[in-house]
Amino acid sequence: MSGNASNSVDTNPSASLSFNSRSKNAPGNRSDIGWKHGFDINGNGRKVKCNYCSKIVSGGIFRFKHHLAGTREDSEPCASVSGEIKNLMIKIVAEAKHATLKRRKLNIIDEEDEGGHMLFGFKGKQTVANASKGGVQETINQMMKKGFKEEVDAQVAEVFYTSAIHFNVIRNPAFAKMCEMIGKYGVGYKPPSYYDIREKLLKQAMRKTYLMLEEYKEWKRTGCTIMSDGWTDKKRRSICNFLVNSPKGTTFLYSLDTLDISKTTDKVFKMLDDVVEYVGEENVIQVVTDNAANFKAAGDLLMQKRERLYWTPCVAHCIDLIFEDFEKNLKVHELTIKKGRKITTYIYGRTMLISLLKKFTIGRDLIRPGVTRFATAYLTLGCLHELKASLLTMFNSDEWKTSKFGTSQEGKGIERVVLDNRVWKNVSTCLKATAPLMVVLRLVDSDVKPTMGFIYEEMDCAKEKIRSNFNNIKKR
């Protein structure tokens, strides 16, 4: 009897293994580590109550361990489990997946062998590769990332917020590359110190930039254009930047503080002549500056001394001077711009009126006129024209009429300007003459493509458009 019994056990090992695997989670023998953190509420092991968040997880102890690990695989993550237990459960479910995948690989190889194929032949390799697509390491990483991605994103955002970093930095390819390289380095990466960023790494970046700029200096073979860009701040301090353009691109050359340099023709000529000497006369095809009288005269002197190059006025500055001529020489433009400035200056000088304006314009602002760019005055007229209906509604509203501004003499004067139909007719007339030129200005003031290839055609199109706007009547 005993021999038969022992034989029956030996001849059916699979039944014994099956019994042992079932007994691991059977009632009275809860040896799975997951049972230390949950409670079987119905006695059959199918529904487990979490000791930390009291959530009931259906699907047995296996799915309950995913609940603790926070993998989001058919179960909601536990919000109250400690980090130590969570990491332990991540390790356990990862090991279980590893074992499952390993068994699948062995089964596939056995099937290939029994089917008469070579174990290490092309087909066998292909099957194993397909089975392990998104293999063990990738699966572990995915589980780790699912529970950790939100925390990492929040930490990146906190750095941006607390350091006042511009949000456009997130679109910088260098930022994406930085994140990728930190990921490749792995756990334990320590960022550079304050000294490294301020001294050592900065000097390395400068050396790298200088080496990169050498590639742009192919003007010795193709020739180049020298461009000057002058700036004056609100304190009347002036600076002039010099840039070099070649088929490779535009590079910064150097800056010159022009505060103590008088704007006489001789001084400007000396400044331009020095930059040509710095680059090399044999490499320079043209010098581009603004079209002011002193620069124009200095350009003539430069071409007399250096006969191989040309002086060319800046297209954007030339168009800006056309707007200046419109304002100075055409009475309707001069008066209309003054009235437009009067409206915007009055509104933007009073906080309560700005709030009232935004209520009627649905958050849109009027463009205040600038001092240095004459085109800004016409941009303001364009904005006033677009918001005409909102302005008329605002100055006809009870909120305006009952306010202290609407009852004051100055406010009533502004109201008369806004409600005057002749003003709006003149605004329309000014825009008919300047809107086509505004299109050209936007084209030449961008860095999308060189101006010379399209400026003549675009100016001809602008002239035709202006003629058409006035029905080809020359007097108008």
Q: Strand order of the sheet with strand 224-232?
A: 249-257, 238-246, 224-232, 284-289, 310-313
Q: What is the Cα gyration radius of the chain?
A: 38
Domain boundary assignment for the chain = 1-28, 29-131, 140-185, 219-313, 320-469
The per-residue pLDDT for 107 is: 61
Structure-token pair, residue 465? 């458009």
Q: Which residues of the chain have pLDDT under 70?
A: 1-29, 72-74, 104-147, 262, 368-374, 446-453
The per-residue pLDDT for 393 is: 93
**What is the per-residue pLDDT across 217-276, written as a single tens digit (0 to 9) for each?**
777 788 889 998 887 777 777 888 899 988 888 888 888 888 777 678 888 899 999 999
Q: How many CB atoms lie within 10 A of CB 404?
A: 9
The per-residue pLDDT for 146 is: 61
Classify residue 290 by its DSSP letter. -
- Spelled out in words, what is the top-level CATH class assigned to the domain 219-313? alpha beta
The per-residue pLDDT for 51 is: 86
Cα gap 89→62, rounded to integer Å:
11
**What is the per-residue pLDDT across 218-230, written as a single tens digit (0 to 9) for each?**
777 888 899 988 8
DSSP 402-428: TSTTTTSHHHHHHHHHHT-HHHHHHHH
